[in-house]
Structure 1
Amino acid sequence: MRGSVMGTAVTLAAGTLLTAAMTTTAAASPPTATTTPVKAAQTHTVLVDCFFHRNVRPEDFILACGDGNSRLVDLHWTQWGPDGAQAFGLNMVNDCKPYCAAGTFHAYPVVIRLSGQKTWQRHPSFERFANISLTYTNARPDTFKQVMTYPLWD
């Protein structure tokens, strides 16, 4: 009888190990043709920055790539999708007085809108936003309109 109990214990242990191995293998294996993909040709809409990095809902974003004298900070995204994106935050703009290196940055509250979804030439599996619009909700820099729209990098 002792051998029977021992044999049963070994069989149960072996079954448990086999089940664990099969579960681990199934979880680690890539999807097969029998699984249902989320979306076969799924695209991701991104915001391309000065360094051609793709961003989704960034907390900050440089607008003036050459000198950094205009950037968006403290961004809070309320929408992000293929039809556009929207956030609110601050546009930090250097007044460049008396010249840019000695200038002072000023914060202007803005509503940011991204639009114009296009295929990203560098990474065709991604869609990118082509335009950014800033709407100043209060004060704005001297030479700026209340709504400023700029093309974005490809």
Structure 2
Amino acid sequence: MQTTYYKTPIGIAQITGDMHGVQTVSVLDSDFEIPANSTQDVAKPLQECIHQLDEYFKGIRKEFSVQLNPQGTEFQQKVWDELLNIPFGKTRTYLEQTKKIGDVKAIRAVASANGKNPVWILIPCHRVIGSDGSLTGYAGGVWRKKWLLEHESESKQQTLF
């Protein structure tokens, strides 16, 4: 297992994986110092992940094609696979997600699986919101979820002052 890092506008992304794919992408506090040479000699999927995240944050990329290898239960994998079907710039509610996986009674289990998503941004759990439109919990912090949704919005909010 290899680890590399990428500085994003909302914190340091810690990326782990190997030649079989990216296993985790998580966010660290912004005061974390990226180790020197952390991107040297890492597996191709990790290098590609950094490249694609860089394009995403620059507003160039809307879809990811990184080889993924997240580890989880069969149910978690099913939930995470369905998250991949939420288009860039769109959101779904937890209830809509449960309908997509075929079990409307599994709303808490779906929410729990979303919370255990090990691949931040690439598997877009930030695109799932409450039925009332609220930005419910996000492992990286609700402020990051808001930032990501605004970043993906077609009509970006502009400040006047």
Q: What TM-score, normalized to structure 1?
A: 0.23
Structure number with higher helix proportion = 2
Q: What TM-score, normalized to structure 2?
A: 0.22
Structure number with higher strand proportion = 1
User: Relative contact order (alpha carbons < 8 A, sep ≥ 6): 1 or 2 greater?
Assistant: 2
